[in-house]
Chain A
Amino acid sequence: MANFNQVFDDIKDQVGGLAEKDLKDFSSQGKEDAEAFLNQSRGKLEKWMQLLAEKKIDEDEFRWLVESQKAAAQMEALRKANAGTMQIEKFRDSVVEIVVKVAVTAAIAAI
């Protein structure tokens, strides 16, 4: 198998070019996201490419593994989205509590 670093750099270059072509206005963000994904997956990609080269897995299986790595990145992004939603909701709840407390106190004082 060709040197993995060389293959990895080639993948990065091609993904960068694809981001510029397909994402246009968002190419910078898209490129960063793709690079982050590739860097996080580097160890696994190396292992899976080795398995593919040794014919221990076939191309369909290799493709499933790469897709599963993308799924892992999506799962983590969704986990972060959930955490963000909870922070907003917590803030909303706190504001509701303050408004109710202050308003009720003011209303009672006015009677």
Chain B
Amino acid sequence: MKRFRKHSAWLALSLASFSMILGFSSCETAGNLLSSTRFSQAAYDTDKGLKDESLALIGKAKGRTSYSSVAADVEALMQKIDSAISAEKARTKNDPTVAQWQTIKSQLSHFFDLWKTKGTLSPAFVDEGKNQVSGLFDTLIRTEEDKRATG
């Protein structure tokens, strides 16, 4: 029993040192001790689905389509993006992905604002813009794929 007490003291000391070294506070829950940035198939599917929807909508601007004819679609898309951001925020230790979604949202909003303000957009701009938005989504998708390494 004396030996057990000695080991227990050693164990407590070891755990305390370990916690300090890794920066854990005693207030952190056990759940936080384990990493949670895991790959999510649902998030991956959402990323790909919203990429396709965004590019399809941007593509409609090429034929000098007026904004008013797609306004409802734009609103629906932005709501879906807000839902995706909420879902990403619910995943712990996921700040980079949340920030990526906010970056995409900002770029898309600005694109649609331009369309709304001008009424129509230059075809060359639509081509280039579509490529740029596609690239942003590709980076988001690659970031989710990177999580497979720990998932």
Residues of A within 8 A of B (CB): 47-48, 51, 56-58, 60-61, 64-65, 67-69, 71-72, 74-76, 78-79, 81-83, 85-86, 89-90, 92-93, 95-96, 99, 103, 106-107, 109-111
Contacts and interface: CB of A to CB of B under 8 A. Distances in A.
A110 B149 CA distance: 37
Contacts of A109: 7
Interface of B is mostly: helix
A90 to B, nearest CB: 6
Contact of B124 (A51, A75, A78, A96): A51
B136 A78 contact: no
A67 B113 CA distance: 14
Contact of A68 (B14, B107, B140): B107
Interface residues of B, number: 46
Contacts of A107: 4, 7-8, 11
A58 B139 contact: no
A47 B131 CA distance: 13
25 contacts: A51-B124, A58-B122, A60-B114, A60-B118, A61-B121, A64-B110, A65-B129, A71-B103, A71-B132, A72-B139, A75-B103, A78-B99, A79-B146, A82-B37, A82-B96, A82-B97, A82-B146, A86-B37, A90-B150, A92-B33, A99-B18, A103-B15, A107-B4, A110-B4, A110-B8
